[in-house]
Amino acid sequence: MKVKLTALDRLIIPRLLPTEGSILEQLVVKEIKKALEIPSKDWDRFGIWEKPDKMLDWDPTKIILEEEKELSEAMADVLRKAVDKLDKAGKVSQFDLDTCVKIQNL
């Protein structure tokens, strides 16, 4: 399935994914991270830069640029389950909210 994601969504999603699970689930997590990775050569286009403390920062007008990304049903399922788990635990922040809602609607 094709999904429109902003560069900010693509930076947020890896933080939402489970860090532990079955081998199959973790293989899918690895695929998601690879599919949504923003290569450093594209950072200028999305207004992303690395600060001296190695944290990323971005231009709020460029980070919202959308691109279509291809996700398999297995990837979408892992994403939905991760967001559902965060939601049930009451761990969705304002920063993550729009991305979480977008994932719920996949």
Using alpha carbons, list the distances in angstroms from residue 53 to 56, 71, 87. 9, 32, 31
Please report the pLDDT score of residue 96 as a whole number.
96
The number of folded domains in the chain is: 1
User: Could you tell me the pTM of the whole model?
Assistant: 0.91
Structural domain of 38 = 2-104
**Residue 58 confidence (pLDDT):** 96
In terms of Cβ atoms closer than 10 Å to its own Cβ (0-12, 13-18, 19+), residue 44 is: exposed
Q: What is the mean pLDDT of residues 27-32?
A: 98
The structure tokens listed for 89 are 């635990």
What's the chain's average pLDDT? 96
Residue-wise pLDDT tens digits, 42-90:
999 999 999 999 999 999 999 999 999 999 999 999 999 999 999 999 9
